Amino acid sequence: MKISKAAAAAAVAVALSLTATACGGSKQDASSDGGASGGAKDKIVVGIKYDQPGLGLKTPDGKFTGFDVDVATYVAKELGYQPDQIEFKQAVSAERENLIANGDVKFVVATYSINDKRKEKVDFAGPYFLAHQDLLVRADDTSITKVEDLNKKKLCSVTGSTSAQNVKKTLAPEADLLEQGGYSECLTGLENKAVDALTTDNSILAGYAAQEKNKGKFKLVGLTMSNENYGIGLKKGDKELQTKINAALKKMVEDGSWQKAVDKNLGPANYKNEPAPQITEGS
């Protein structure tokens, strides 16, 4: 059957219109869903820290590096997303629950310690990492080997830090506590001998010490003043996603990618990590 050029052009236009509509619908579904289930997978939005070297850091050229970034990328891959389909969103500590509850992110990987108070608002997968509160001192300092050695010495941490208060109130009450706006200020003070030690999670301390500009300057004392199980935060009640993330974390440990990521991001500080913890959330 012979078809006129006008009719053929009209048919093509209709077909293109329908295709565009279909694609538009699936893309919207994937985006609004975070892309973790159903529809064509467009992108997935993941919350990370932007300011923690070795864990979650946005570099001046706009790239993202760190152990949490590597974990997030691996998990996203297991959910069906390539690195260029991941959109990283800053998840500062105080906003993590809101980002999850509002659907601004599909999940959060941001040194997010699992505790009962947080579990009232969000669910967790994991844990995928066990950190401990520790001390960072100058590499040549042999005077601080246990927490009691901080008595009469200057201890630095960030304003409002529970780690610092833990030391001041119970472990070394005679420590001279100096609180700064960020860990970078504490590191400068430590290098200049204005303070004697810095305290927070050992993973965070190792990340700072592993920075190229800090290599060889600092060391971890190697204390275990608290247990911090880092989990991946997700929307409360999303058991399907929780199960998929737990499976991805198990695979990451089994194929060696987990230890490789730890060594790459935290190893330069001579960080001695705990073995990957048993996954308990959702079981």
The predicted-structure confidence for 90-144, as pLDDT tens digits, reads as follows 998 889 999 999 999 999 999 999 989 899 999 999 999 999 999 999 999 999 9
Residues contacting residue 130 through CB under 8 Å, at least 6 positions apart: 227, 228, 229, 230, 274, 277
Q: Are residues 61 and 186 in the same domain?
A: no
Q: Does some domain include residue 206? A: yes
Residues 157-186, mean pLDDT to the nearest whole number: 84
Whether the pLDDT of residue 30 is over 50: the answer is no
Q: Are residues 48 and 172 in the same domain?
A: no
Residue 131 burial (10 A CB sphere; 0-12, 13-18, 19+) = buried
Q: Does some domain include residue 2? A: no
What token pair was written down for 244?
């998929």
- Supply the pLDDT for residue 26: 36
First to last CA, the chain: 64
Q: Are residues 63 and 196 in the same domain?
A: no
Q: Is residue 220 classed as helix, strand or coil in its secondary structure?
A: strand
Q: Does some domain include residue 199? A: yes
- Supply the pLDDT for residue 151: 94
Looking up residue 257, the CATH number of its domain turns out to be 3.40.190.10
Q: Are residues 248 and 118 in the same domain?
A: yes
The fraction of the chain above a pLDDT of 90, given in percent, is 63
Kindly indicate the confidence band of residue 34, based on its pLDDT and cuts at 50, 70 and 90.
Answer: low
Task: For residue 124, give Cα distances in angstroms to 33, 97, 104.
Answer: 18, 11, 16
Q: Are residues 121 and 237 in the same domain?
A: yes
- Supply the pLDDT for residue 32: 40
- Supply the pLDDT for residue 12: 44
What token pair was written down for 166?
């833990």
Residue 161 burial (10 A CB sphere; 0-12, 13-18, 19+) = buried
Residues contacting residue 271 through CB under 8 Å, at least 6 positions apart: 202, 203, 206, 209, 210, 220, 262
Q: Does some domain include residue 277? A: no
Q: Are residues 201 and 257 in the same domain?
A: no
Residues in the chain: 283
8 Å CB contact between 233 and 114: no
Q: Does some domain include residue 279? A: no
- Supply the pLDDT for residue 135: 94
Give me the helices (H) in the chain, please: 5-32, 67-78, 96-101, 116-119, 162-166, 183-191, 202-209, 239-254, 257-266
Please name the residue that has the structure tokens 């467009």. 42
Q: Are residues 100 and 156 in the same domain?
A: no
Q: Does some domain include residue 19? A: no
Residue type, 210: A
Whether the pLDDT of residue 36 is over 50: the answer is no
Count of domains forming the chain: 2
Q: Are residues 238 and 107 in the same domain?
A: yes
Q: Are residues 113 and 138 in the same domain?
A: no
Q: Does some domain include residue 4? A: no
- Supply the pLDDT for residue 160: 65
Q: Are residues 127 and 138 in the same domain?
A: no
Residue type, 109: V
8 Å CB contact between 230 and 114: yes
Q: Are residues 137 and 213 in the same domain?
A: yes
Q: Does some domain include residue 12? A: no
Q: Domain containing 240: what range?
A: 44-131+229-269
Q: Are residues 176 and 233 in the same domain?
A: no
Residue type, 19: T
183: left (phi over 0), alpha (psi -120 to 50) or beta: alpha
Q: How far, rounded to the nearest angstrom, does the alpha carbon of residue 120 sit from its chain's CA centroid?
A: 20
